[in-house]
């Protein structure tokens, strides 16, 4: 396994968060996957090293989080586009998994789609 370098304190990183919200008149919550930006605040070393981050959560509030250092490039990314690609695969997997019960009344929102768009100038 390749060794992952520690990012500098203050480095901006991106991760995918599960977000549930309510629609008026609908009894159950609706789920979506969101790409959120955070900053590295520190590290904790034990059996493995954790990265301490402070994200702005899907609802816009500060959300502290801890991720394994080994998750960089898998669940924690340096660019929003990489995190959006993970959100896309998670959305597709969720829809495949639960699609056998029929199309949902409210399909999953895709707030990460705009992060995958390639600029026209390259």
Collapsing DSSP to helix, strand or coil, 82 comes out as helix
Q: Give backbone dihedrals phi and psi of 86, rounded to 5 degrees, phi first.
A: -65, -45
Q: What is the pLDDT along the chain (122 residues), one digit of tens a residue?
A: 567 789 999 999 999 999 998 888 888 888 899 999 999 999 998 888 899 999 999 999 999 999 999 999 999 999 999 999 999 999 999 888 887 776 666 678 888 989 987 554 54
What does the DSSP assignment read for 3-18?
PPPPPPTT-EEEEEEE
Closest CA to 17 of 38, 36, 31: 36
> What is the spatial distance between Cα 83 and Cα 76, in angstroms, rounded to a whole number?
7
In a 13 Å sphere around the CA of 84, the CA atoms on its Cβ side amount to 13
């Amino acid at each position: 396994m390749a060794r992952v370098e520690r990012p500098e304190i203050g480095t901006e990183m991106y991760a995918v968060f599960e977000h549930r919200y309510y629609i008026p008149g609908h009894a159950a919550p609706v789920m979506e996957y969101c790409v959120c930006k955070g900053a590295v605040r520190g590290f904790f070393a034990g059996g493995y090293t954790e990265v301490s981050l402070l994200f702005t959560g899907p609802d816009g509030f500060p959300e502290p989080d801890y991720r394994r250092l080994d998750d960089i490039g898998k669940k924690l990314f340096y660019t929003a586009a990489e995190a959006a690609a993970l959100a896309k695969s998670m959305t597709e997997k969720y829809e495949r998994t639960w699609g056998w019960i029929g199309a949902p009344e409210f399909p999953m929102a895709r707030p990460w789609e705009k992060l995958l768009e390639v600029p026209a100038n390259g």
